[in-house]
């Protein structure tokens, strides 16, 4: 009876003997083929790793370049209109065209409340959610900047500076204030009860005043010129109603009788017994730095 060890040795000798019976050419060819296979396999593995790394690097570079380009086109140029809409007039970027080339997904979120302001398909009112057709990225990203992977996409996040809506009251609605603000004052809003010069009533007032004053005086006309004109018109009308008996008592009495007097530069003026203030309808207007004036907002 042979032991297991002797059986193994016998099998090994038999195998080796069988190998030696193979012609030397076949043994060399087999060894060369095996070595070639190992070399090619190693080479393919290395090439695959390097290619994958290069493709990923190129993709990341293209992504970063596209993101930075879009960020430069939008950052500091977007603003909200008086209706709360995103104003795209200051940029020529089309999100749909920008995203279409690489079939990308673009989302704009409000950083305050996380609401979706727009996609490459549609821009909606501030605070209202724009529809996301495929349900992707319907919530604000977890970070304000950087990159991460989500749903098979490489997501790049950038913070946009959106020009806020800025407004002033009527004391500042004069040309010197716009000069002090410079270009930064372009587009700011003002609230006033006096007509803007860019409106029809304002233009009519300037046409009426031009032949009556000097060139220097005409250049100095502002909203306070209009209020002075309206006050003078109401006061003179009250004095005229007193006839030849012009006294303070009569003038005050007639002023208290003033009802819906049209001045052309503001809403009708009315007073009453003991009422010395005329409630006026406010108007919203917007600054135009190029002309140093305000135009009515429709």
* pLDDT for residue 226: 93
Q: Which among 157, 34, 57 has a CA at the least distance from the CA of 106?
A: 157
Average pLDDT over residues 150-157: 80
Query: Quick count: other Cβ atoms within 10 Å of Cβ 281?
Result: 8
Residue 231 in tokens: 């006050």
**Tens digits of residue pLDDT in 67-101:** 777 777 777 777 766 566 666 666 777 777 766 66
Q: Is the pLDDT of residue 170 over 80?
A: no
Q: What is the pLDDT of residue 185?
A: 82
| Confidence (pLDDT) at 296 | 86
Q: Binning pLDDT at 50, 70 and 90, where does residue 231 land?
A: very high
Structure tokens, 75: 């950052």
Write down the pLDDT at residue 62. 73
Mean pLDDT of the chain: 77
Lowest mean pLDDT among 22-26, 60-64, 212-216, 271-275: 22-26
* pLDDT band for position 4 (cuts 50, 70, 90): very low
Mean pLDDT, range 235-248, rounded to an integer? 92
Q: How confident is the model at residue 43 (pLDDT cuts 50, 70, 90)?
A: confident
pLDDT above 70 covers a percentage of the chain that reads 76
Percent of the chain with pLDDT over 90: 23
Phi, psi of 280 (to 5 degrees): -120, 145
User: What radius of gyration, in Å, describes the C-alpha atoms of the chain?
Assistant: 41
Report how far Cα 62 is from the mean position of its chain's Cα atoms: 24
Q: Which tops the pLDDT comparison, 15 or 228?
A: 228
């Amino acid at each position: 009876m042979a032991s297991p060890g002797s059986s193994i040795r016998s099998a090994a000798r038999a195998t080796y003997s069988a190998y030696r019976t193979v012609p030397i050419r076949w043994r060399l060819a087999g060894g060369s083929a095996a070595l070639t296979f190992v070399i090619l396999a190693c080479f393919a593995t290395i090439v695959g790793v390097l290619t994958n790394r290069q493709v990923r690097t190129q993709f990341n570079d293209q992504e970063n370049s596209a993101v930075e380009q879009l960020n430069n086109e939008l950052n500091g140029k977007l603003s909200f209109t008086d209706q709360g809409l995103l104003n795209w007039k200051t940029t020529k970027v089309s999100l749909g065209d920008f995203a279409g080339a690489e079939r990308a997904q673009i989302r704009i979120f409000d950083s305050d409340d996380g609401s979706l302001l727009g996609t490459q398909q549609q821009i909606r009112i501030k605070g209202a959610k724009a529809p996301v057709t495929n349900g992707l990225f319907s919530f604000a990203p977890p970070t304000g900047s950087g990159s991460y992977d989500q749903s098979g996409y490489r997501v790049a996040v950038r913070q946009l500076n959106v020009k806020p809506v800025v407004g002033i009251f009527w004391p500042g609605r004069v040309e010197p204030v716009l000069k002090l603000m410079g270009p930064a004052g372009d587009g700011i809003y003002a609230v006033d009860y006096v007509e803007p010069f860019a409106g029809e009533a304002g233009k009519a007032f300037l046409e009426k005043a031009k032949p009556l004053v000097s060139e220097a005086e005409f250049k100095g006309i502002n909203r306070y010129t209009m209020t002075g004109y309206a006050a003078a018109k109401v006061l003179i009308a009250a004095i005229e109603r007193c006839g030849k008996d012009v006294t303070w008592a009569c003038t005050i009495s007639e002023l208290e009788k003033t009802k819906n007097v049209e001045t052309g530069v503001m809403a009708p003026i009315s007073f009453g017994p003991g009422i010395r203030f005329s409630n006026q309808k406010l108007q919203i207007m917007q600054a135009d730095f190029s002309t140093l004036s305000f135009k009515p907002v429709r």
